Amino acid sequence: MAVLDVTWAVKWLTLSAQAMAEHRAYLIELDRAIGDSDHGENMDRGFQAVLDKLSETPPGTPGVALKLTAMTLMSKVGGAAGPLYGTAFLRAATSLGESAEIDPAALANALAAARDGIVARGKAEPGDKTMVDAWTPAAEAARKAAVDGDVLAVLVAAAEAAEAGAVATDPLVARKGRASYLGERSAGHRDPGAASSALILRAAVGAAA
């Protein structure tokens, strides 16, 4: 049975960093189509820095791990993604508090807090073709799964919903972020931030499996 403790958190962040490195070119390519070609580079740089931080100051709880991640992403990613992911991880960390282990309800709450942080910061609504379109269904699916599922079920539900949410950005016309300048021309492309969000939530499953 999966236990979401600090070991899981560190593994999650490590797998996220691996995913960013592996999909760096893919995320750049998505951003090239409707943005400025930097999302993969930004996320890769940010998560490599997270790995460095984690080994410098090993965290004691999942909350501390996520807070460290938040601060590092905030100071290393830049662009729109930096502050947005930074806020997401910071709100999730705050929501988790000092607990050593995360139960399904706490997990769903943390994901909802992350999602709400992104919305508070970026003012995007669902359907604006941003990472909100991955996080909103993810948080919603997590809430439902937490009613009678275990943490792994919650993580899987969130990851699957995020992936579906990212795919669902394809036909949308962007109304926030850099892609919005393209108007109708933004349709037919996947939002890079939604794609990286799905990768990160999938890494959370991998760390628990």
Q: Are 155 and 145 in contact (CB under 8 A)?
A: no
Q: Confirm or reject binding of residue 130 to ligand ADP (CB under 6 A).
A: yes
Q: Are 115 and 130 in contact (CB under 8 A)?
A: no
131 binds, among other proteins, Mg ion, ligand ADP, none (CB under 5 to 8 A by kind): ligand ADP
Q: Confirm or reject binding of residue 170 to other proteins (CB under 8 A).
A: no
Count of CB atoms situated within 10 Å of the CB of 14: 18
Count of CB atoms situated within 10 Å of the CB of 126: 17
| Cβ-based nearer residue to Mg ion, 31 or 140 | 31
Q: Confirm or reject binding of residue 11 to other proteins (CB under 8 A).
A: no
Of 73-102, binders to other proteins (CB under 8 A) are 74-84
DSSP label at residue 1: -
Q: Confirm or reject binding of residue 45 to ligand ADP (CB under 6 A).
A: no
The owner of tokens 């359907």 is 127
Q: Confirm or reject binding of residue 48 to other proteins (CB under 8 A).
A: no
Q: Is 158 exposed, middle or buried (0-12, 13-18, 19+ CB in 10 A)?
A: buried
Residues that bind other proteins (CB under 8 A): 28, 32, 34-38, 41-42, 45, 74-84, 121-122, 173-178, 180-183, 185
